[in-house]
A = this chain, B = another copy of it.
Amino acid sequence: MASHPDDLDLAGLTSAIEGFNAYFIRLPSVRRLSFSTLSVLHTLHHHGPMRLTALTATEQLKQPALTSLVAKLEREGLVTRRPDPRDGRAVLLSLTPEGEHIVRSRHADRTARLARLVEHLSEEERAQLAGYTRLLNRLTEIAAHVEG
């Protein structure tokens, strides 16, 4: 289908990402944490303190489910809730040091696994891979704009 070599085969790229993710996402988490939990921790880690309602937008959970998930995470000491000084109805959620620790340690595990894969690449492939960090960050940034 491509008219010349550099043409971007988007469906092929999508498949490649999907396939790699099937491997990349699955970590044998030591503590048994659900997908929902991990997603909330990831979002809070990257976004910083935010409201329950703001989380409803990114997580694929309805508000009552989030209320109860966050209550549980608070009991477990992974998340703190404090009143929003700007709005008496709202609550600001953030990660505790222990919550941060989980996100960071999963990140470290992924980095280590990636390292083991990269060992098997050629010199040239490794050099090529180095450029993708910028590119992926660029795409993520664009996604944030396009969606928002």
- A residues with a Cβ closer than 8 A to B are 5-26, 35, 39, 42-43, 46, 58, 60, 107-108, 110-111, 114-118, 120-121, 125-140, 142-147
Closest Cβ of chain B: how far from A36's Cβ, in Å?
A: 8
Once A10-B115, A116-B146 are accepted as A-B contacts, the answer to whether A133 and B16 lie under 8 Å apart by CB is yes
How many angstroms from the CA of A131 to the CA of B14 in the assembled complex? Answer: 13
- Interface hub of A16, A136, A144 (most chain B Cβ within 10 A): A136
Closest Cβ of chain B: how far from A30's Cβ, in Å?
A: 13
Q: Please, which residues of chain B bring their CB within 8 A of the CB of A8?
A: 118, 126, 129-130
Once A6-B127, A131-B128 are accepted as A-B contacts, the answer to whether A139 and B20 lie under 8 Å apart by CB is yes
How many angstroms from the CA of A136 to the CA of B18 in the assembled complex? Answer: 10
6 extra interface residue pairs, beta carbon distance < 8 Å, beyond A6-B127, A8-B126, A14-B111:
A5-B130, A14-B107, A14-B114, A17-B24, A19-B137, A20-B136
Closest Cβ of chain B: how far from A9's Cβ, in Å?
A: 6
How many angstroms from the CA of A121 to the CA of B137 in the assembled complex? Answer: 12
